[in-house]
Amino acid sequence: AQKITQTQPGMFVQEKEAVTLDCTYDTSDQSYGLFWYKQPSSGEMIFLIYQGSYDEQNATEGRYSLNFQKARKSANLVISASQLGDSAMYFCAMREPFFNKFYFGSGTKLNVKP
Amino acid sequence: KAGVTQTPRYLIKTRGQQVTLSCSPISGHRSVSWYQQTPGQGLQFLFEYFSETQRNKGNFPGRFSGRQFSNSRSEMNVSTLELGDSALYLCASCPGTGVTGELFFGEGSRLTVL
C-alpha cells in the first residue's frame, strides 16, 4: 500500500509569495518521522525539515514550516517568501520506527516565477 | 565533515553487463541505504546495511545486491543489466536507528543502460 501521497505533480508560485505543498501518509505505527527533501536538477537530495509523530508543535526551519495534522495524517510543507532558488522537486518522506527505511512520495515540482 | 560520496557519478553500460557502485558514508554513520530513482517509479528503497548486515531489502530482483565493509563503506552491484535499470542510484547514510534524524544523501550515480 502506498505510504506517502503527494497529489500535486507540479506547482507554480510567484516569487516572494508563500506556497503549500501537500503530503498525506498512511501508517499504523504510533511512532514515526516525517521529512521533506528538496531535489534540485543536480540530483542531490537536500534535507529541509523533520516532524516527529509525538511532536505537538509544528516544525519550523527558517522559511520552511511543516503543517502537521496527525488526525488527518497530513504533513504539508509551507515555504514562505518563495525565492527563484526554491525551484526544484520536493519530496515528502516517512521513516519507519527502528529501521532506516524511508518511504517517499512521488514528488512535487515547484516552479518559482519572477 | 565530509558528506556522502558516491562514485562514479555517471556511467554508461550495455545490456547484459554488470555494474558496481560505491558509497562512502559520513564518518561515524553506521547505516547505509540505497535508493533507485526513475521518472516512472520515483524513489524506491533497494536495501539498507547496518554494521555490515543487510537489515532491510526492497522489492527488487536478485540481480541487485550490495554489501557493507567494516569501515561502513558500501557497494551495490547490478548484474545482467536491463534497459529498465537506467536510473539515478542514491546512497544515503545516517548514524543509527529510530525515527529521528534525517538521511544524508550523496549526489548519486547516474546509470544509463544502452
The whole-number pLDDT of residue A68 equals 96
Measure CB to CB from residue A42 to each of B35, B92, B107 and give the nearest one. B107
Name the range with the highest mean pLDDT among A92-96, B34-38, B41-45, B93-97: B34-38
Measure CB to CB from residue B48 to each of A101, A105, A106 and give the nearest one. A101
**What would the grid cell of residue B93 be?**
547514510
Using a CB-CB cut-off of 8 Å, the residues of chain B touching A43 are 88, 90, 107-108, 110
Closest CA to A36 of A48, A24, A27, A23: A48
Contact call for B102 and A42, based on CB within 8 A: no
Using a CB-CB cut-off of 8 Å, the residues of chain B touching A50 are 100-102
Average pLDDT over residues A68-82: 96
The whole-number pLDDT of residue B108 equals 95
The whole-number pLDDT of residue B1 equals 63
Q: How far apart are CA A64 and CA A51, in angstroms?
A: 12
Closest CA to B34 of B15, B60, B70, B13: B60
Return the bridge partners of A34, or none.
A51, A94
At residue B12, does pLDDT exceed 70? Answer: yes
pLDDT digits (tens, 9 = 90+) for B86-110: 999 999 998 876 656 788 999 999 9
